[in-house]
Amino acid sequence: MTKTIEPQRINVLDDKGYVILHDVMGSDLSVVNAARVSYDKKSEALTDGDRRLIAFLARERHTSPFRHAFLQFEIYAPLMISRQWHKHIIGSDHSFNAHNESSRRYITEEAAFHIPEADAWRSKPANSKQGSGATLDVGEGTLLTKELRKHVEQSERLYEDAMANGVAPEQARLFLPAYSMYVRWYWSASLAAVCHMLNQRLASDSQYEFQLYAKAVLELIKPHFPVSIDALVKDVDA
């Protein structure tokens, strides 16, 4: 059963980005009843026994009952995050995922870019191929922010000139800096798939910016599936 909800939004990153929860289908009770159908049983209200069943399903990795609940999000994030997020659809064993992204082949909305502040630049991690190390010196960060802003402004000018000269939007977009540019997409996924993403992207070695988006997703969905989230998502503290 789909719940009629008011879209719930959390701003992320530099307040250009956001996560909106648009639709929810199901609840913790949906998970329980999907599991109990094997025995031709159904719960009308969540009991302590149902809570223990959810914990058992999660602990033993019986994920199919969690695939009967669905969520739909709208996300606005830098392309570097979008491309990582998309891996959870292409590489996941949870097939109940859908991803539809806005395209500059068809639209020419004003471009927005993520430009870290001077105190937000991070060094390479010492002992890992992913994640970040310590925050860089503010003086160095100031220079990096200035250079990135200059690069973005120049790229926007080239893009606008190409568009003004009649270049096709699908080619003019080549002038735009890719990884810092914001893109908008809809993501619909089962509860199992969403929690799979959260377990990977809430981890401390995940990219920090993605961690912020994952925390927003967690905050939005936990009121709708409190028992399942506690069982499925590791080290939940939100």
| 122 counts as catalytic | no
CA–centroid distance for 112 within its chain? 18
Tell me the CA end-to-end span of the chain in Å, nearest whole number. Answer: 26
Tokens 């606005």 sit on residue = 76
Which residue in the list 67, 173, 184, 201 is annotated as catalytic? 201
Residue 48 and residue 157 in contact, taking contact as beta carbons nearer than 8 Å: no
Q: Which residues pair with 78 in a beta bridge?
A: 182
d(CA 214, CA 231): 17
Tell me the residue type at 144. L
Tell me the residue type at 231. A
Residue 221 and residue 233 in contact, taking contact as beta carbons nearer than 8 Å: no
Task: Show which residues are catalytic.
Answer: 201
